[in-house]
Structure 1
């Protein structure tokens, strides 16, 4: 084998082994260190406010304490108000659902009494009478289908309540983690410059600029992606809530928030909710609501088509198809949490690519030098 090719293979093998080792280290250490990472993120977010408060000649511990109180207290107040309002809206929504149950039952009965349906039922009965041998087979298939559907519904309901129970049982540990995060954020913020200088000093001098460039680009891309998603979800939720209020739909705020989160799904988006809802309204004779929902869906589509390219392009330029692939891959690997982790991983890879990491690795494998 040619000596140059052998060196390239060895360098490529070294890069692969180093990457695998880094990923394994992250997999092992992340469950242990994530409170520290959350604390660092909180300290990073608080740092501008801490600098402003220090400008008023406040001691470091007091500036950090006030910043923690502002961010944590403000977040708690907003979440409490939002959850309280959402619970009220969901209670009203559940009551409305119960009121419509009887209407749906009547609709199903009237549909089953239709002459065409009755004719089909009579033909089935005649088929049973003329072919008694098929009767047991058909009944068996219907029974198996019913059991399968019943088992699926049971699993769904059981899974939902298991998640609730796990959340309740995790509250004590979540409280402990929150205390650790707050304390760590306090200590990190009071010595922010000292800690940063210490970590920077651990890096070799040739790596300082590349690492700084990667971090700057990664920070811009990741926070840009999160900001873009929050903006798009908020716009959708506001438009849907206002539209449902104008249409006189109860629990408009809760429905608007839920449909806004559904808008995370690229290509499908709010259509997965709005289209069946408007179709049902047409079928039940509620033409006003059906037309209103159709117009509202058109408004959301137009708004998204106009704003999404601008918002994403100004943030990270992530392609919707790539986002869909990332969400699907994340869902397969990590479950529901993967719907968020998948696109985030794509953002990180995109940031590394734009920072020239992959180009530098390719150059190292080919020539033995980092460019």
Structure 2
């Protein structure tokens, strides 16, 4: 390899090491600095309202304080209203489940008294009688299976309660983080131009231009991605609520919201709620509800599969095929979380490409000059 090729290889290795160092620094520092990042995002979102209020000749601290009260108070008000409505409908839903308990017990008893089931039980008993040697083996296998199922159920229940306990125990620290975020956002907003100018002064002009381009692209894509997910959740929730109202189902609002958010889960999605519900309706003889839920599930599934790549692509500015490939690759690499990480990483890479970062790095590796 000639001297020029060696230099290019060394510069390429330097770029890789620098990239690894940046990723390692982010991994180490992000748990320590995320409250400041959240505060900066909050200040960034509030800044347009602060500018409008400053136009009425209000002091900076008062404009920022009113903006904080507007955003935090409005968010708390909306969440309180939604949670209150959701809790009310969940209570009605739980009462409905209690009313169906006797019906489920009778269904199980009638199913066990069925002639076919009784015939199977008699055949099993006859098999035990004719083959006494298999009795202990089958009983031990059944016992082990029962223990495994019981252990799995216990783990699920224990994990759920541990999650609740951890959430409750984390409330004080969450409150502390919230206070830090609000105070930091207040101070950042009161000196927004000064802080941004100081931060910009730390970066060289070429790098500052690239960072500004990447940030502009990421900001547009991030808000587009959130908007796309909210649109998909809204469409699913509206379809479910409308369908359940047409079917005369109570607590349609709570069920629709729940199914809308559950639809974010890959593979499972609305099927984790709709399919067991439709199956139960068929088993209880409510064929109209079973057919209606089946049709509603098919409509939601087709709508989601058709709209998701298009909505994501139009909101983020990427080709639908690229978004589909990104989602599939993320799913294969990171599991269920990859359906979110895949498009996000694709958006970040596209932002770097549009800002000319890859072109600049390629030029540095080839010529040794960073343009």
Is TM-score (shorter-chain normalized) higher than 0.5?
yes
Compared with structure 1, are the counterparts of its residues 127 and 4 closer, same or farther at alpha carbon in structure 2 (3 Å cutoff)?
Answer: farther
Is 1:179 the counterpart of 2:179? The answer is yes
Q: Which residue of 1 aligns with 2:326?
A: 322
Partner of 2:197: 197
Q: What displacement does 1:175 show?
A: 1.2
5 Å-filtered alignment, 1:107-186, equals 107-186=107-186
How do 1:1-371 residues align onto structure 2 when only pairs under 5 Å count?
1-266=1-266, 268-304=268-304, 307-316=307-316, 317=318, 319-326=323-330, 329-331=333-335, 340-341=340-341, 343-370=343-370
The answer to whether the 8 A contact 1:111-1:117 is kept is yes
- Equivalent pair of 1:330/1:340 in contact (CA under 8 Å): no
**Cα distance in structure 1, aligned partners of 2:215 and 2:352:** 9
CA distance in 1 between counterparts of 2:315 and 2:326 reads 15
Is the CA contact 1:43–1:186 (under 8 Å) kept in the aligned structure 2? yes
SS at match of 1:319: helix
Query: CA–CA distance in 2 between the matches of 1:366 and 1:115?
Result: 81
Shift of 1:3: 2.7
The 10-residue stretch of structure 1 (15-24 or 242-251) with the greater mean CA deviation from structure 2: 242-251
How much has 1:350 moved relative to structure 2?
3.5
Q: Distance in 1 between matches of 2:218 and 2:226?
A: 12
2:350 and 2:45 map into 1 onto residues whose CA distance is: 23
Q: Cα offset for 1:94?
A: 2.0
> In the TM superposition, what is the alpha-carbon distance from 1:107 to its structure 2 partner?
1.9
Q: Tell me, what secondary structure is at the counterpart of 1:348?
A: helix
CA contact (8 A) 2:328 2:339 kept: no
Task: Provide the C-alpha distance between the structure 2 equivalents of 1:211 and 1:85, rounded to a whole number of angstroms.
Answer: 44
- Following superposition, the deviation at residue 64 of structure 1 comes to 0.7
Moved more, 41-50 or 206-215: 206-215
Contact 1:327 1:342 in 2 (8 A): yes
Distance in 2 (CA, whole Å) between partners of 1:197 and 1:327 is 41
Deviation digits for residues 255-311 of structure 1, max 9, x if unmatched?
111110122135653234323322332232111111221332243245435543442
- Distance of 1:120 and 1:70 partners within structure 2: 67
Residue by residue over 1:170-220, the C-alpha shift from the partner in whole angstroms, topping out at 9 and shown as x without a partner, is 111111111111111011111111111111111111222211111111111
2:100 alignment partner, SS class: helix
Classify 1:147/1:306 alpha carbon distance in 2 versus 1 (closer, same or farther; 3 Å): closer
Structure 1 residues without counterparts, runs of 5 or longer: none
Cα distance between partner residues in 2 of 1:307 and 1:32: 39
Which sits farther off after the overlay, 262-271 or 235-244?
Answer: 262-271
The 1:330/1:88 distance shift into structure 2, 3 A limit, reads farther
Give the alignment's Cα RMSD to 1 decimal.
2.3
Q: 1:273 to 1:368 in 2, by over 3 A?
A: farther
Shift in alpha-carbon separation, 1:321–1:127, aligned structure 2, 3 A: farther
Give the Cα–Cα distance (whole angstroms) in 1 for the partners of residues 339 and 169 of structure 2: 25
- 1:12-57 alpha-carbon deviations (Å, 9 max, x no partner): 2212211111111111111111110000000000011111111112
1:269 & 1:347 partners in 2: Cα distance?
A: 24
**Does the 8 Å CA contact 1:328/1:339 hold for their aligned counterparts?**
no
Count of aligned pairs: 367
